[in-house]
Amino acid sequence: MEIPFVDLKSQYRQIKDEVDPAVLAVMQRGDFILGGAVAEFERTFAEYCGVKYCVGVDSGYSALEMIIRAYDIGPGDEVITAANTFIATTLAISNAGAVPVLVDCDPATYNIDASKIEAAITSRTRAIMPVHLYGQVADMDAISAIARKHNLLVFEDAAQASGARYKGRMAGSLGDAAAFSFYPGKNLGAYGDGGAVTTDNADIAEKLRLLRNIGQKVKYFHEVKGYNHRLDTMQAAVLSVKLPYLDVWNTSRRRAAATYADLLAGLPIVTPQTADYADHIFHLYVVRVADRESLMDYLKEKGIATGLHYPIPIHLQPAYAELGYERGDFPITEAYAETILSLPIFAELDDEKVAYVAGAIRDFLTSRGEAESLPVAVAVA
Ligand SMILES: *Cc1c(COP(=O)(O)O)cnc(C)c1O
């Protein structure tokens, strides 16, 4: 059996009858730039997230950067974010001229550890940017309480969390503004790059509309120095076809995750924990295991693709040498980077395939014996 890490083709086959005409209709209308499909998707996605405004942009990265710029955060400012994240989160901060200040992750959820945020606040801090990593929302009540106390903004990096919830409230509605990614492999993916910002703030939404479109509302009248970060009309048309399926697809992911957890129970492998407050959508299914590289190789031989999210923490990347962090600064993030392994997960991954993957892992681990299990301190904190 061949099990890809994500299967974009089988999802396309499911919606081909709807998505093909939706894309063709854009070509027939010819409204390629900020066309009707963009406004339509923005309206429905805002409604889905339970916010007043959605502004479509050309990637999740741009969504994050445009948020930072819309709030006039830049040189001299600091933004606190998770040490355990994809580098786009911090690039958005540093490319806008501000400094990303990192905080280690919670050992159980892998998200920013809210209890360590206050120690990172300085007189320059303007915002906290939690990341809803792997599809599980960060502890937003704790984060919002800290933000209120210190008069800081809260921006969600919801790139991996379309449709996730926190105490019943939607990701994207939990801070001052939120960034989504519609990169094809994300749980709500376009057929190319795409992203969006959600917010309840009318002024910020207006400013984002200017910033994404070279600073103009009326053609050739430029109120501010903007960028070209518009959501492509064809991508918006694809997203509008997909959005009504998102909850069903997320439910399938959750089911696959539950099946993995059942089948891997009792083995020397740490499966994901879902916090009480979270409705995890399992954009990624990340386990931890000793001797990860050998397991990866073994699974590859069995036709099973895996991934690493992420193999080198941000503070140890050459690109961020300037931040002056050292190995040892974020011990949980660092320890996890050595042992994490992302298993295949997507809405079309049925029980038979999950059982095949879990069976291969079981065979590998039971042939190895107990010496290889993770130290308990790392396994369960
Ligand atoms: C994917 C991702 C981004 C960036 O999104 P793009 O659409 O690829 O630019 C940002 N943050 C996180 C956590 C992501 O997973």
pLDDT in tens, 187-230: 999 999 999 999 999 999 999 999 999 999 999 999 899 999 99
pLDDT digits (tens, 9 = 90+) for 278-297: 999 999 999 999 999 999 99
3-class secondary structure, 292: helix
Q: How far apart are the first and last CA of the chain?
A: 36
- ∠ Cα 134 114 331 (to 5°): 75
Q: Which atom of ligand 1 is nearest to the CA of 85?
A: 13
Say how many CA atoms lie within 13 Å of 352 toward its Cβ: 3
Which residues have any ligand 1 atom within 6 Å of their CB?
59-61, 85-86, 88-89, 131, 157, 159-160, 181, 183, 193, 195
pLDDT at 380: 42
Residue bearing the CA closest to ligand 1, atom 2: 159
pLDDT at 368: 78
- Phi/psi region, residue 315 (left: phi>0; alpha: psi -120 to 50; beta: rest), is alpha
CA of 123 to the centre of ligand 1 (A): 28
pLDDT at 374: 60
Instruction: Among 66, 68, 85, 86, name the best residue to mutate to test ligand 1's pocket (greatest count of ligand atoms within 8 A of Cβ).
Output: 86
pLDDT at 234: 98
Q: Which atom of ligand 1 is nearest to the CA of 181?
A: 7
Q: Which atom of ligand 1 is nearest to the CA of 64?
A: 10
**In the chain, what are the domains?**
8-244 (3.40.640.10), 245-378 (3.90.1150.10)
3-class secondary structure, 369: coil
- Ordered DSSP codes for 178-237: EEEE--TTSSS--SS--EEEEES-HHHHHHHHHHHBTTBSSTT-BSS---B-BPBHHHHH
pLDDT at 282: 98
Task: Name the nearest CA neighbour of 15 among 339, 276, 244, 312.
Answer: 244
CA of 89 to the centre of ligand 1 (A): 7
pLDDT at 377: 40
Q: Quick one: CA dihedral 220, 223, 227, 233, positive or negative?
A: negative
| Whole-structure pTM value | 0.96
pLDDT at 300: 98
Task: Name the nearest CA neighbour of 128 among 169, 68, 211.
Answer: 68
Q: In the chain, which stretches have pLDDT less than 50?
A: 376-377, 379-381
Instruction: Among 6, 57, 58, 61, name the best residue to mutate to test ligand 1's pocket (greatest count of ligand atoms within 8 A of Cβ).
Output: 61
Residue bearing the CA closest to ligand 1, atom 6: 60
